[in-house]
Amino acid sequence: MKIAFATPGHPDSGSLAVGILADRVLTESAQALDAATDGAISRALSGGKFEGKKNTTLSIEAPHGLGIARILLVGLGAADEIDDLRLQAAGGAALRALGRLGEVTAAFAVDAIDGCNIALDQMAAEIAFGAQLGSYRFAKYRTKTESGAGDTTVETLTMLTVAPEAAEAAWAPRARSAEGVFLARDLVSEPGNVKFPAAIVEDIKGLADIGVDVEILDQAKMAELGMGAMLGVSQGSRKAPYIAIMRWNGAPDGAEQAPVALVGKGVTFDTGGISLKPAGGMEEMKYDMGGAGAVIGAMKAIAGRAARANVVGVVGLVENMPDGDAQRPGDVVYTMSGQTIEVINTDAEGRLVLADVLYYTQTVLKPRAMINLATLTGAMVVTLGTHIAGIFANDDVLAEQLQDAGAASGENVWRLPLDARYDKEINSDIADMKNVGKSREAGSIAGAQLLQRFVGDTRWVHIDIAGMAWMKRGDDPLVPKGAAGFGVRLLDRLVADNFEG
């Protein structure tokens, strides 16, 4: 979908969206449109259920002679409660309603609102951002021309504002963020027979076009480095594993500044290995590379807007399959750190991948902070569901920065504990550790405790996005059903607010 900006006025085709505040209070554009239609908006609001509550919409057929086909009323809620996220949601809700109406072109009138302190250009940019995020659909493999449920038909959305140039400038970095989210969603949505490790490597190499330096570690290099944990996961697959390193050097003082490291688990398909998953729902395990997808998307967003920071993204790409060479329960693997892990459950493979990738990142790349994302544990879905991701940290400041970035971006996180008492649960009788703790007890914490053993003194946060990578309902105006791209906006905001010079 194309986002455009123009000065206020009635379009000559399509639909025109206007904001309505709580208790049916009309914005300036809604008032003008109401007068131009002899009170059509007031009549529609009188006695109806639409009251201007946030994320609600009401379509009105436009009177003959107005030019546009319909008027869309978009609820904004109370004026003093409007913030960036409320505006984004309004854009997403409007886009979804326009799609249900089969609209191809539309405009959204953006007005200054008494009681709302957000600048008009930023308001327009946020509404556009929400609409763009909500427009995503993955329909690559449909061969029929008719639209599927929930599809959007809107091809062009024009933001009408008295300051279109300023609004377009404010929109530019948000457009880059949306591109990063869409890349992450694309990678996660693709089936495992299309996006296996080598295929994703080729996608990553494409980031060189926007100034990202890409380095690839192949299986031989990983063996040379002693990455037995990650290689153990891959040994049952015919698809070779890779580690991709993406460097963006945008700091004003150049390469001298230590980078912020973003690390992602990229299990492109997870059968569970010998500890085979149940068949029901296994097709969704293509999203087990949601952490890697988020890191790749975040690097696209960060480089795309030319962030003034040094950022490195590192993803471990592997497929977990159960053939005759597959890793067995009870096997012991040597990690790059020299520590050994007894593999109790081959379906707890993500922490084996990250053990080597995190250790490589902190020892070789020497970041000033390290954040990893992973669809690590089903226990996290039980704990926090599909609204908030869980985080574990060895640094209070970094954890607070991430929580603030989550609140600002709408990708919320909640901190859970790390504790030596849980650490004892993963001690092994025959190796330094085992890859799972007690069955069903604090499974997310056990996974985090294992990862902590590979981060050294580096400031570090682990984000468990198991409940956030794939949305089954599609009721969020910014996130359609399927791949969420969760983490891209979060990481982009974290870098923007805390690490840019």
Q: Which of 277, 308, 415, 481 is catalytic?
A: 277
Q: For residue 277, what are its two tokens?
A: 């998953």
C-alpha dihedral, 75 to 80 to 82 to 84, nearest 10°: 170
Which residues contact residue 371 at a Cβ distance below 8 angstroms, ignoring those fewer than 6 apart? Answer: 260, 261, 262, 263, 398, 402, 460, 461, 462, 463, 491, 494
> From start to end of 133-182, where are the E strands?
156-160
Long-range CB pairs of 146-151, under 8 A, 24+ apart, other chains included: 150/96, 150/99, 150/474, 150/480, 150/481, 151/99
Which residues contact residue 36 at a Cβ distance below 8 angstroms, ignoring those fewer than 6 apart? Answer: 10, 66
CA dist., res. 289 & res. 278, Å (int):
19
Within 101-149, where are the H helices? 120-134
246, 312 in Cβ contact below 8 A?
yes
Which residues contact residue 430 at a Cβ distance below 8 angstroms, ignoring those fewer than 6 apart? Answer: 332, 342
CA dist., res. 320 & res. 8, Å (int):
55
CA dist., res. 46 & res. 50, Å (int):
9
* Nearest in space to 427 (alpha carbons), one of 416, 419, 438, 417: 438
CA dist., res. 62 & res. 312, Å (int):
52
Q: Which of 351, 459, 489, 493 is catalytic?
A: 351
CA dist., res. 448 & res. 265, Å (int):
13
CA dist., res. 219 & res. 317, Å (int):
11
CA dist., res. 293 & res. 468, Å (int):
13
413, 463 in Cβ contact below 8 A?
yes
User: What is the C-alpha radius of gyration for the chain, rounded to an integer number of angstroms?
Assistant: 24
Does 238 qualify as catalytic in the annotation?
Answer: no
Burial class (CB in 10 A: 0-12, 13-18, 19+), 396: exposed
Does 421 qualify as catalytic in the annotation?
Answer: no
Q: Which residues are catalytic?
A: 277, 351
